[in-house]
Structure 1
């Protein structure tokens, strides 16, 4: 055994020696780190001497181990003080540092001077050294956890290997000395392996040394919320191990005949008590969420996240910027590689409004275009759909079919709903993370909270847009009133000419005045026409029975220019109930738009009229420039949004849809860029409407 201990700690001493040389010959010294490595090297050397010198016992190496622990506590304390207070000396002014220093000094005195140890054994009948080193191990683990959790996420890369290596060393010490405390003798089987474990950890410490300079220069302060103590479970485990050790010790001393059996039974029950909760998935999940919410430090500062997003939202000036910001914000929160935003239009249908690096297959995009009951599911559940969770707990999503995205290479990872006043306004599809990760309850809470804030921004943008539209309508109505007034004046002028013509028709001066007046009227009429293009101020008449065959033929005769309008119908009559003037204007406007969309000499426009059992079907088809789906969903039927510049007012398509829907009809648009457009209008046949009213007098 001594041979194994010798080579085990020799490897550790050699590794620490090289690490010490590496630390000393660097340009930027880190003194606490050098002291800790030197104390570790001295401790390993003392164990090597103890294996070769019969006058030097393994118990004599405990003071060196205490000094090693104290030096690593110093290193962790310096870094922790830097993270919390931005001052590497501040933490040593705290009461915890004073108490830790006193305990270390007392234990060191007991280990160096055997007389103190004898006095304690005579009065307490226990050896305090094992218990002290259990406390040191627990305290070291607490410091490691405090340092890691208090370090901002972007700086944890600097301290990651330090926390792993020291956490491993203190965890091994906890195991060794808690078992030694239980049996009142040093557990050599575990103790002798610590040398090899220390040797394996030195490369991680060497990597840490090259990164400590980055961390020491950091000036980022953590918030007071992050300075709370959050090692409740770890501290409780340490106390539990100590109590278990003392209980086992006293059971063994109480009755030597059955003490060994009772001790074994006690250990078995203690282990069983730990295994049962940890093998129950439900208990683990409930415990994890409860203790994480009530005892541990939050991974996110919700106040900081909310303020940061609010400041960024305040800088946005358009809906397009907001769309990109929504995707960027959510992808950055979970480090997703990309995403797409689906917005709800006026008809309650969702469409892909924006995307960033959305690497989905055409089939997946098509599935999301025909999403079926997904919006209703999101509205009812109001939670984030996690496809990683779906793969491991499919029973959670039993009431919805997500199979189109459930295959090995699917890029869909999360579907995040955005709610405003408990109504689903949009949802974001996020692709797989840059580095695979599992989201916990806090990630889901943050996504829902941020989603609510982003949905509020969308709702505010939509409200502002509607307010702007209402103002434009108000301006339009005011303009119409002015134009009606001007028209009345023009009519009055022309009426006056007609009234006086019979009397002054032979007067040359009268003709001169008439020409001047008419020139003025023409100029004003041109001005009015320019302002009223695609709009009209005439009030509509009541609905009447209309033969669509005659109506569309008249429209075809009026549009025989370039490109020509091709009329196609086999019907002799097709009656609907509508406002003839209004319907004529709507169809004329759509035909004119189709002709305006023709960009080539071989372009054409078709006007087709058919009917089925219930509806008259009018189709206006062209092979023009076409439109994409986003334009159709967002802009085509949006009032005052025109692509014709000053030539149009942008209310033609809006007016057409508004009137058709009021007539219990339907309007559909099929279009692709470069492939033309087809408007399909369905109007209820007059026979069906009159039958409902019990009036068939017209047929």
Structure 2
């Protein structure tokens, strides 16, 4: 199987695929219909040529017919474009000459050739080849006149069509002229003809995408164009190197084979170095964007790339570097630095990418900061000397000299406030920054500013949360100190009356011992800056309640305990539960007159313990219970209270899966019920009857 099979088969497949694209994006315009017909005829022509390259029996007349039909289809399509140009006031005379004289001659000559090919008449082959030369030359003439008479503003949309079709006609002219000159068809030229026609398809696709009346939006991906261009360029390079290697082998004598191998190896390494070079890739992207696309950027790709970059889950410092690299990749800069607002003093260099940091702050009142706050412009350092009026009054900081090839300074603003700026430096390719570059950088900078604001707000919230935790811990400690002071004060007050009572002395020492332990624990918490988690222990709930009641018996009114369960095993933080009970009994005693009553009942069922504290005190309104009782830092005790006891108590009880319920009426007393769940397998509860 020769090269021609692959050449024409590839052309047939590509033309067929292009025809499918045109059909799927069909429009009713005449230009679109004619282009579709041309592509279909070209696909059939290439398929016939591929078959002939394998076995030429019986298909040559069909191939020759489609060869001429292909020319005619191109003529009609190009003349339709010429008609449009003439209707717009340009090329009318040339169009009339072509339609009046040249086109009838071409049609007549083509008809003669078709009859000859189909019925195998005796026209000399040399005349047929001369006719093909004439048809190719006419095609080139039509393209030249069409390009000359196309308005400059429309050439952007059609120039690649002229290049593609002109390349086909030019190669055909050379191919048939060579055959006419040497009286034989060059097999190599015929085989490569399919590749030449194939290479025209991308150019036709670009023109089709730029002319909306030919088809719907045929999107030619920048990545596809970039990769295809790189592959085709690499292929042409390797072909040239292979040819050079062949001559080295042919004329190198004994060292020819070694020289060829060494030369080709070096050529492959050089190609790899070129393809992986960031600078070469950047130059190629600039070239393709400038010459193949109306817009320099594919904004969907740019937006997704920026979003993915900013969404990377990395540490704080790495996030800053990611922000710099995201902006740098937008315009192919190698390095960058980020400055952020540092309080009200100025802007600090917080991160750098591919370069060192600069330990110099930019003052908040500097010329650079003032320029950004007034204008919000991106500063292009490459043009600052040429556009003096635009940068009037701007004095650049001296530390810019420490940066290698500084290029762009991009302000980062959030709701009109300058939160920082990014300096991009050391560009891969020196290029003109136009309005499209600036708009993309501004859009990216706005997204980066939003991202930075979220980061800084998150940091501020985390810091505020730390202060909140510390303040909350301090408030709880002050509350505990107040309770310790109240207990010691009560001992001192009762000592005058009961100092000779041995039981009082024993209780007093016990109270002092408990106070010392509580103070020691508070000091440990202050050193650790957090409340130490108490280990859960298993104990008898009734015994704990009895101990707390006993410790509060020195105050009036004296609480009375009624235990209605014979076994009440519970596993929680014992000391915290003791503190909660002590606080609730204290509250009941303070709300009840000395001649009042406080009754404490411990009961249980199969899944829940209930501790009920009932007093005959002043009571509370429903509004107070709903709005103020559990609200932190809201107290009715004046300077004597902190307002966090009930809040802390409910937090603890709910934290272990229980709850606090309150029933109260003004001047009739209150009932506080603690509901404690049986949580551990070792917890047991049973009624008084066992």
Which of the two has higher C-alpha Rg? 2
Under a length normalisation based on structure 1, what TM-score does the superposition of the two structures give?
Answer: 0.39
